[in-house]
Amino acid sequence: MQALLEAGIPLAAVISNRPAARGLDIARSHGVATAVVDHREHPDRESFDRALAARIDTFQPDLVVLAGFMRILTPTFTRAFAGRLVNIHPSLLPAFAGLDTHRRALEAGVRIHGCTVHFVTEELDHGPVIAQAAVPVHEHDTEDELAARVLAQEHRILPAAVNWFLAGRLRVNGMRVSLVDENMTETALRVPETS
């Protein structure tokens, strides 16, 4: 979220389900509107998702970005925002969907790891891929070291993907996303560096 602000992307609002989320303070310090929809005040996911969707609608955003948002969304929500809802996920999807991606990548012994910006659909972490960045996994990496290397790339590809969306340059064809007027391979793929 901070990377979006620093990239100059106009945020209509920052909304969290956690009242103590640090992103809320960062947003306030940038003069961005904030709201909290606390999931603990709702009896079930449907009710939370309806309240969240209603609050988002008051801000009339062009795009909804999940950035560290940790609640699985029901089809009621994903259908309401279909085609204008994206997530940044800390793995090279479809590898390591779900949680604890860096620990699982280390356990699996992969040499390359990374992050993915994708459209959110009802199938968790399986929507059409917009951009990916790869990083090397070093021999003696800890989970934290690997996470930091991936995070630096998350901060590059999320603002890039959001800018493409806002410029109306993304086309979705089934699971494949293309970028109008540009070769996607040269722009939406970040290849691993060796350090």
Which of 26, 51, 61, 122 binds ligand NHR (CB under 6 A)? It is: 122
Strands 64-66 and 129-136: unpaired
Question: How far is CA 40 from its chain centroid?
Answer: 23
Which of 120, 137, 161, 162 binds ligand NHR (CB under 6 A)? It is: 120
- Judge whether 143 and 102 are in contact, CB under 8 Å: yes
34 φ/ψ angles, rounded to the nearest 5 degrees: -130, 160
For CA atoms 41, 47, 50, 52, the dihedral sign is positive
Active site residue 89: yes
Q: Does 99 bind ligand NHR (CB under 6 A)?
A: yes
Catalytic residue among 30, 39, 89, 102: 89
Which of 17, 87, 132, 153 binds ligand NHR (CB under 6 A)? It is: 87
Q: Does 175 bind ligand NHR (CB under 6 A)?
A: no
**CB 84: neighbour CB atoms within 10 A?**
14
Q: Catalytic residue numbers?
A: 89
Task: Enumerate binding residues for ligand NHR (CB under 6 A).
Answer: 66, 69-73, 78, 87, 89, 98-99, 120, 122, 124-125, 127
